[in-house]
Amino acid sequence: MMMQIVNTLKNENKLHPPLTNNSSEESALTGKDHFEVKVENLQFFYGRKQALFDINIEAQEKGVTALIGPSGCGKTTFLRVLNRMNDLVTDTHLEGRVCIQGRDIYDPATDVVELRKRVGMVFQQPNPFPKSIFDNIAYGPRIHGEKNKNRLSEIVEKSLQGAALWDEVKDRLYDPALSLSGGQQQRLCIARVLAVQPKILLMDEPTSAVDPIATQRIEDLVRELCRDYTIIIVTHNMQQAARISDYTGFFLQGELIEWGETSRIFTRPRDQRTEDYITGRFG
Amino acid sequence: MPAITEKIMKIIFWLSGMAIIFFLAGIMFTLLSNSIPAFEEIGLKPFFTDGVWRPSAFAEPTYSLLNMIMGTFMVTAGALAFAVPVGIAAAAYLSEIASPWEREFFKPIVEILAGIPSVVLGFIGLVVLAPLLAAVFNIPSGINALNGAILVGVMALPTIITLAEDAITAVPGEYRHASLALGATRWQTIWKVTIPAAFSGISAAVMLGMGRAIGETMTVLMVTGNMIARPTSYLDSVRTLSANIAVEIGDVVFNSLHFHALFVVGLVLFMITFIVNLMADILIHRKPEVNR
Amino acid sequence: MNRNKNISSVREWKGAELAGCWLLRFSLILVLFILGFIIYDLVSKGLEVINWEFLSDSPRVGMTEGGILPAIIGTFYVTLITIAFAVPFGVAAAIYLNEYAVQGRITRLVRMALRNLAGVPSIVFGLFGMAVFVKLFGFGPSLIAAGFTLGLLTLPVTVTAAEEALSTVPRSYREGSFALGATRWQVVRTVVLPRAMPGILTGTILGLARAAGETAPILATGAAFFLPYLPDSVFSQFMALPYHLFIMSTQHHDIAAVRPIAYGTALVLVVLVFFLNLVAVVLRRRFRSRAAKGL
């Protein structure tokens, strides 16, 4: 039964990556057991050193989940587990199950390219390619085979609008992306991810390299986007987590200490360590 | 289908990487397999017993490499006697003393010297250095081992300077500061701390310079005279292993005994440079350390 | 960067230390003198021979008169083949080392082989080329046999340069591309290679300069003493500048008479090699300043 569902999903995606957000159909397919992101007993290792211990998370569709914790607590490592970016680091391995939209993404049959299309990532440092603004956004669709110029223009416009950048750059789409300001570059990177129509957005401290005004704009954008996307955001800024997230997870030394609705975590933490952290006693 | 392209490209790149190993192995194999008929026919011993190299003699061909090994040794040793002190001094100056504009000025000069084709240096040796040596030493011709040694030294200089400078520059600044703080003079610091700390790297530079000197062909071919007799001094004409191949490669009969004997020369030359380069490799990958 | 490690400016050096400082400085001045002398000698005696006829005519009257056009053309052709062989191979091997391979025993072995290949004497490449390309593959003494031999010889230069160029491409570009679902080859093709291209070009030109000046590898793989015609296919023999210089300075029957021609040939060869190196240096400068601007 389960295998059949997985296959159905996979075939559907391979033949025709859904352009619109049709996850309601998928929910129907996978039944009531479906979570957008479901992690069970995850252990993660760099060589012999264990970086994540027994992580369990079930994240619902849509909304924003924030991961907080001091530097080196494993929150970025965890984020990179979700789109298998850690595959690029040699000598890493993991145990446990990581399911996204009901599929085990570490199953040998998983197509990593498909996975990364569905699970987009925004990095700490804005990393636009040294190409024009247009080419940056069109990059994803192009590598996935879109050649039609009109459709590419359409995607570029829609993605830039989605990232609230269109009005600022519509007259200079062919300028180098690196001529934009840091905050604009980061929104460009978000637009670049939107252009491949992901379901989930992973953001790794997306505001840590930009100024306060740009931070504000990106936070607004995150709230905007979470109506259509499931967003998981790593931040070291607790106020930011409180401002923008619906759920919060607190990581400490590779363990997920506490997980729950943001309002509750910040008002009635159950674990002493969470309370210590959010009240600023360490970190 | 991107997946197939991906697989094909992966295989292409893997093959290209492996090709490097394959090429080196191919060179070794070619030298060896072409040498074997010579070993079968004349054995190993005649190559290393006293005598001269006269493989095409009609009556009694002889195959001794000793005089050529001697020639190679003389040219290399002479070259290093000149290039090592000058090279290390230049490297020490460039990395420890030179002002920025001096570096900007001298480094390209070293690079340009490295770029001069060896045949051009040989030509200079022939038309300038040879008459000069003849006049200085009052001998009929300046075509001899000394001429070759000087020019090969010039060839090896850029290698030694560049690599030794890298090694000295890589020594952490703290070493120097610690030495100066203990009251050592700058001169003492350079010779007692910095250069000993860069010892591995400098030795590697010398070894690589030596590898170049041993293998250098055109320059020695043009200026050492290529006599097969045993040299007794630097003012004698010598023939090196590399020059010997160059002299005879043009008109050796394919698959003759002489042809295979020539590959024995190549094999010996290859093995010597291989060992020298391997030693340099080991030295270069040792971390810098302070000798006592 | 390492300027701050410098002990002090020379002006503060005194007495015996100052003498020592000058001793070291003298070694560099010696290098300068050697280079200056070589160039002065070549220019002062070579320049008077070089005119349009010298560059555009074939050798005539037993090579005692005429020009060196066939040698220039031959060197041009053989370096073209060298590049056609060494660059694709070199870049592909560099991509393997820098982008595909898991760093470990195998990459260490490849790099060691590369360094040893760089140390193989050029005449040994000549022996190898003669045994394999000329005889075993049956190319005969030809442009292609010599070009392949020189290609092998320059491979370490091109691989090293290409690897250096690849390693300057920031990791964040690769990650950004991977995160959008690009395959490894797509990452390399669309992001890494375009960015590394100027560096690869620089390495290519440096390899070319090296190949253009080499003589020993082409002695028995295709260089000809004298040819009355230009090479018409890759299987033709050819004349080459460095080999021509060798002939004119040691093998000609009337060496004194052709000395001016030898000087002219040497000057043309040196100018060619310098020019190529200069182009490489200028390219590298522009590439670096562009990289610094982040474009």
Closest residue on chain C to B112 (Cα): C274
Mutation choice for B interface testing from C1, C2, C3, C7 by most B CBs within 10 A: C7
A 10 A CB-CB count for A189 gives 28
Name the average pLDDT for chain B. Answer: 89
Question: For residue B51, is it within any domain?
Answer: no
Q: Which residue shows structure tokens 């690599």?
A: B163
Interface of B with C in 43-62 (CB under 8 A): none
Q: Do C179 and A129 touch (CB under 8 A)?
A: no
Of B113, B249, B277, the CB nearest to C220: B249
Contacts of A204 in chain C (CB under 8 A): none
Range of the domain at A98: 2-278
Q: Do residue B19 and residue B80 come from a single domain?
A: no
Where does the pLDDT of residue C293 fall: very low under 50, low under 70, confident under 90, or very high at 90 and above? low
Question: For residue B213, is it within any domain?
Answer: yes
Q: What is residue B287's predicted lDDT score, i.e. its pLDDT?
A: 55
Average pLDDT over residues B214-220: 93
Question: For residue B260, is it within any domain?
Answer: yes
pLDDT in tens, A118-154: 999 999 999 999 999 999 999 999 999 889 999 999 9
Q: Do residue B243 and residue B274 come from a single domain?
A: yes
Indicate if the pLDDT at residue A44 is higher than 50: yes
Contacts of C192 in chain A (CB under 8 A): none
Q: Do A117 and C180 touch (CB under 8 A)?
A: yes
Q: Do B117 and C274 touch (CB under 8 A)?
A: no
Q: What is residue A230's predicted lDDT score, i.e. its pLDDT?
A: 92
Task: Number of helices (H) and strands (E) in chain C: give both, helices first.
Answer: 11, 2
Q: Do residue B122 and residue B29 come from a single domain?
A: no
Where does the pLDDT of residue A201 fall: very low under 50, low under 70, confident under 90, or very high at 90 and above? very high
Of C172, C186, C191, the CB nearest to A125: C172
Question: For residue B98, is it within any domain?
Answer: yes
Q: DSSP string covering A225-278, please?
A: HTTTSEEEEE-S-HHHHHHH-SEEEEEETTEEEEEEEHHHHHHS-SSHHHHHHH
Mutation choice for A interface testing from C98, C177, C180 by most A CBs within 10 A: C180
Average pLDDT over residues A176-186: 92
Question: For residue B73, is it within any domain?
Answer: yes
Q: Do residue B35 and residue B71 come from a single domain?
A: no
Domain count, chain B: 2
Average pLDDT over residues B238-252: 91
Q: Do residue B12 and residue B101 come from a single domain?
A: no
Indicate if the pLDDT at residue B289 is higher than 70: no
Maximum alpha-carbon separation in chain C: 70
Percent of chain A with pLDDT over 70: 87
Question: For residue B184, is it within any domain?
Answer: yes
Q: What is residue A168's predicted lDDT score, i.e. its pLDDT?
A: 92
Query: What 8-state DSSP symbol labels residue C102?
Result: P
pLDDT in tens, A10-43: 333 333 333 333 444 444 444 444 578 889 899 9
Average pLDDT over residues C146-171: 93
Q: Do A113 and C175 touch (CB under 8 A)?
A: no
How far B33 CA sits from the closest chain C CA (Å)? 10
Contacts of C131 in chain B (CB under 8 A): 30, 34, 263
* Neighbors of chain A with 3 or more C-beta pairs under 8 Å: C
Nearest Cα neighbor of A168 from A155, A181, A178, A153 is A181
Question: For residue C168, is it within any domain?
Answer: yes
Question: For residue A283, is it within any domain?
Answer: no
Of B6, B16, B127, the CB nearest to C184: B6
Residue B14, classified by CB atoms within 10 Å of its CB into exposed (0-12), middle (13-18) or buried (19+), is middle
Mutation choice for B interface testing from C108, C128, C189 by most B CBs within 10 A: C128
Q: What is residue A133's predicted lDDT score, i.e. its pLDDT?
A: 94
- Can you read off the two tokens belonging to residue B181? 């703080």
Q: Do residue B13 and residue B123 come from a single domain?
A: no
Average pLDDT over residues B242-253: 90
Q: Do residue B135 and residue B245 come from a single domain?
A: yes
Range of the domain at B206: 62-284
Question: For residue A215, is it within any domain?
Answer: yes
Domain count, chain C: 1
C40 or B177, higher pLDDT: C40
Name the average pLDDT for chain C. Answer: 88
Q: Do residue B129 and residue B245 come from a single domain?
A: yes
Q: DSSP string covering chain B, please?
A: -HHHHHHHHHHHHHHHHHHHHHHHHHHHHHHHHHHHHHHHHH-SGGGGSSS-EETT-SS--EE--HHHHHHHHHHHHHHHHHHHHHHHHHHHIIIII--HHHHHHHHHHHHHHHHS-HHHHHHHIIIIIHHHHHHHHT-S---SHHHHHHHHHHHHHHHHHHHHHHHHHTS-HHHHHHHHHTT--HHHIIIIIIHHHTHHHHHHHHHHHHHHHHH--HHHHHHSB---SPP-STTS-B--HHHHHHHHHTTPPTTSHHHHHHHHHHHHHHHHHHHHHHHHHHHHTSPP----
Of C97, C215, C216, the CB nearest to B17: C97
Question: For residue C5, is it within any domain?
Answer: no
Q: What is residue B22's predicted lDDT score, i.e. its pLDDT?
A: 95
CATH number at residue C187: 1.10.3720.10
Q: Do B126 and C274 touch (CB under 8 A)?
A: no
* Neighbors of chain B with 3 or more C-beta pairs under 8 Å: C
Q: DSSP string covering B23-49, please?
A: HHHHHHHHHHHHHHHHHHHH-SGGGGS
Contacts of A201 in chain C (CB under 8 A): none
Q: Do residue B71 and residue B189 come from a single domain?
A: yes
Q: Do A121 and C179 touch (CB under 8 A)?
A: yes
CATH number at residue B119: 1.10.3720.10
How far B63 CA sits from the closest chain C CA (Å)? 18
Q: What is residue A171's predicted lDDT score, i.e. its pLDDT?
A: 93
Q: Do B109 and C31 touch (CB under 8 A)?
A: yes
Q: Do residue B95 and residue B158 come from a single domain?
A: yes
Average pLDDT over residues B99-114: 89
Q: What is residue B228's predicted lDDT score, i.e. its pLDDT?
A: 85
Q: Do residue B34 and residue B122 come from a single domain?
A: no
Where does the pLDDT of residue B209 fall: very low under 50, low under 70, confident under 90, or very high at 90 and above? very high
- Can you read off the two tokens belonging to residue B82? 């000149």
Cα separation of C161 and C154, whole Å? 11
C39 or C8, higher pLDDT: C39
Q: Do residue B94 and residue B6 come from a single domain?
A: no
Cα separation of B211 and A196, whole Å? 55
Range of the domain at C215: 63-293
CATH number at residue A183: 3.40.50.300
